[in-house]
Chain A
């Protein structure tokens, strides 16, 4: 356990170092100029600016978003006792993106209160905006959308007892809300391309505000999740056993759904739809060790953070100075990994259900 935590932390630190050195010019060591300001002051100033204001926040932002998604994935898989559950399959990510798209459509069209006060006079609110209020507003919208989507999924599936029904409901809600998002975008063709880039996942404009917001929410979700880890452990023994252990399942489930929605909504509002991190991170952890849910949440977070950080660095690196959408990269890599996992150990994969 502690071995895995430390190796993941070390991996994340190493990736941070790499992320700081990868940018629009491909790989380039900017740490040297940062540490030795006397050699070339102009280069150091440029390095400070690039690293301090762009690369570091977006690298750490990628970690925080990955951590939130990993946490959400671990909570979802424990809560629904289903190894296929992830922020995407339950519709919460689709709900979150619909929340963001609706907010942008409303604010962009009418230059509402938020837009009017934050942007210099009447221009539309941008999905990539760096201002704290806009970020908070978008996060709130994404959170509300995610909560409503999960509740809708739960209502359609009439609870979490039937795995198949739950997944079906999640898929249906995801598709319907995704279609609604597309429709909102279709009616605002000006923002279509920018929103599309956002939907494919992007950390391009993650600044310190978004980064701090995600880190704060992660700490909050992690502490609540840590406290509720025992509930998930109880649940994994079956509902009846959990009841007999004296756990107030109803209210604790609501708290866990709130954690799930908050974590997903925050990540989606800052970085768009990033696929598979939430699904793959807990599986990666479980493939190494078996542990309690409280620890699994922490480990899945660290794993998710490292995963997304690595993917984001790659997305910047491969075709620099252009960028790949990081969501596409995680989908390809994560999907490939899961297929391999299923192929290698299909019994273990299926047995993870209970």
Chain B
């Protein structure tokens, strides 16, 4: 700690820091411990104090920061981070894959949270900015990322907050009527048609709700299917976002699918779709939306349905 003080006192006057700020800064530093965090890309990030200025470049990470009660520490987000609404006042620094490096540097963040897949982390690190790369893809990832961000932000409640989310998903699963369990569901991500398979985040939620995904895990998380596959699988229920719902029932041969024929389509609004597809703290909300859809639209008895 003494060494740290010495370093700071040496370094700060060079940067022309005002006396008051110096004192305030030292005060904070004195109250905190320096700590190391290993991120998902295996990089060890050394933090001298809990970061106060955070830039997040992934909507699910942004939501996790806010869920941990640190929304006020965000100073910049990517253009897709739209929840909670208070973020609208923050400067946007481009997208996760094409961030505006200059704008991020200008915000003087203590740490940047971003996806592992983005190439920008190298560039930011070389500019001396601390980057924590995280990759939430599955339910387990959401928990791990939540705890990791809690560690980075030095928020002690992360585990408790995760338990609340997890309990929310379980509650949603319990609310699904017994008659709707085993409903065969097709979740269309977009019109390619790309489907959400069992191994995707959406697929995991569906599994926890006790329904059967027509796209098995072996096809990968988001396969581009032959539409004929869906007609043949003949799902009882189709879930789709409103952006992709146009013309779905008029596709060749689709009118004979049980779900289309009986009008068992759940069309989620764009805001709802966000909480369904983002592996973040709103997954309980997403599970509730799907459970609601199942309660409303699933056939009352699937006993007659063919496997």
Interface residues of A, Cβ cutoff 8 Å to B: 23-25, 46, 49-50, 53-55, 57-58, 115, 119, 123-131, 134, 190-191, 193-194, 197, 202, 204-208, 316, 320-323
| CB <8 Å contact, A125 and B231 | no
User: In angstroms, how far is the closest chain A Cβ from the Cβ of B230?
Assistant: 8
Of A53, A57, A194, A207, the residue contacting B191 (CB under 8 A) is A194
B73 within 8 A of A: no
Instruction: Contacts A194-B191, A194-B192, A322-B224 given; indicate if A54 touches B253 (C-beta within 8 A).
Output: yes
B245 within 8 A of A: yes
B163 within 8 A of A: no
Q: How far is the CA of A24 from the CA of B193 in the complex (A)?
A: 13
Q: Which residues of A contact B231 (CB under 8 A)?
A: 49-50, 54
**Count of chain B residues with a beta carbon within 8 Å of a chain A beta carbon:** 29
User: In angstroms, how far is the closest chain A Cβ from the Cβ of B296?
Assistant: 18
Q: Which residues of A contact B244 (CB under 8 A)?
A: 126, 190, 194
| CB <8 Å contact, B252 and A205 | yes
B89 within 8 A of A: no
Of A23, A53, A321, the residue contacting B219 (CB under 8 A) is A321
| CB <8 Å contact, A24 and B232 | yes
CB-based nearest A residue for B244: A194
Contact with A along B214-232 (1 / 0, CB 8 A): 0000010001111111011
Which of B241-276 touch A at CB < 8 Å?
A: 242-248, 250-253, 256, 270
B83 within 8 A of A: no
Q: Which residues of B contact A130 (CB under 8 A)?
A: 247, 250-252
Of B229, B246, B248, the residue contacting A125 (CB under 8 A) is B246
Q: Which residues of A contact B242 (CB under 8 A)?
A: 123
* SS class, residues of chain B in contact with chain A: mixed
Beyond contacts A204-B193, A205-B227: 10 other A-B pairs, Cβ-Cβ < 8 A, are A24-B229, A46-B232, A53-B253, A58-B252, A119-B246, A123-B245, A124-B246, A125-B247, A130-B247, A197-B192
Of A53, A129, A316, A321, the residue contacting B246 (CB under 8 A) is A129
Q: Which residues of B contact A25 (CB under 8 A)?
A: 232
Instruction: Contacts A193-B190, A193-B192, A197-B191 given; indicate if A204 touches B246 (C-beta within 8 A).
Output: no
Instruction: Contacts A24-B225, A24-B232 given; indicate if A190 touches B194 (C-beta within 8 A).
Output: no
CB-based nearest A residue for B227: A204
Q: How far is the CA of A190 from the CA of B252 in the complex (A)?
A: 23
Instruction: Contacts A123-B242, A204-B226, A323-B225 given; indicate if A129 touches B232 (C-beta within 8 A).
Output: no
User: In angstroms, how far is the closest chain B Cβ from the Cβ of A317?
Assistant: 10
Q: How far is the CA of A323 from the CA of B247 in the complex (A)?
A: 21
| CB <8 Å contact, A131 and B225 | no
| CB <8 Å contact, B226 and A320 | yes
Q: Which residues of A contact B247 (CB under 8 A)?
A: 119, 125-126, 128-131, 134
Of B219, B226, B243, B253, the residue contacting A49 (CB under 8 A) is B253
CB-based nearest A residue for B226: A24
Q: How far is the CA of A320 from the CA of B228 in the complex (A)?
A: 10
Q: How far is the CA of A190 from the CA of B226 in the complex (A)?
A: 21
Can you list 15 contacts pairing A with B, beta carbon distance less than 8 Å?
A24-B225, A24-B228, A24-B232, A49-B256, A50-B228, A124-B246, A129-B247, A130-B251, A204-B193, A205-B227, A316-B226, A322-B223, A322-B224, A323-B225, A323-B226
